[in-house]
Amino acid sequence: QTVVTQEPSFSVSPGGTVTLTCGLSSGSVSTSDYPSWYQQTPGQAPRTLIYSTNTRSSGVPDRFSGSILGNKAALTITGAQADDESDYYCVLYMGSGTWVFGGGTKLTVL
């Protein structure tokens, strides 16, 4: 079964830049996997940040950006703020109407 990999945790200083990645246990992530990214704070539903690799969802600040870096999808936060401290999940479209979530990255801003 396909496994989508993410860093379990990451930390960034306020104002700093951090790049979270999303890979596949076997193979490379490409735009054809339509990577999307979601932010989740405790007790809340996920919030859609990025879809189709690099398109920001409505209302998402431009300090969030998506890309393909090497063989992985990437979410970059530029100028991190305290309220960016959250869990971040990537999702890949596997075709045939199915999706797989990554395990999530817990981002700490300190």
Contact footprint for other proteins (CB under 8 A): 1, 34, 36, 38, 40, 45-48, 51-52, 55, 57, 87, 89, 91, 93, 96-104
User: Smallest gap, in angstroms, from Cβ of residue 44 to other proteins?
Assistant: 8
User: Smallest gap, in angstroms, from Cβ of residue 33 to other proteins?
Assistant: 8
Q: Give the integer Cα–Cα distance in Å for 89 and 94.
A: 16
User: Smallest gap, in angstroms, from Cβ of residue 15 to other proteins?
Assistant: 28
CA-wise closest residue to 106 among 6, 3, 9, 1: 9
Looking at beta carbons only, is 64 or 89 nearer to other proteins?
89
User: Smallest gap, in angstroms, from Cβ of residue 43 to other proteins?
Assistant: 9
Looking at beta carbons only, is 13 or 31 nearer to other proteins?
31
Looking at beta carbons only, is 38 or 64 nearer to other proteins?
38
Question: Is 92:29 a contact under the CB 8 Å cutoff?
Answer: yes
Query: 51: which DSSP letter?
Result: E
Question: Is 14:28 a contact under the CB 8 Å cutoff?
Answer: no
Looking at beta carbons only, is 55 or 108 nearer to other proteins?
55
HSE-CB of 105 using CA atoms within 13 angstroms = 27
Q: Give the integer Cα–Cα distance in Å for 42 and 26.
A: 31
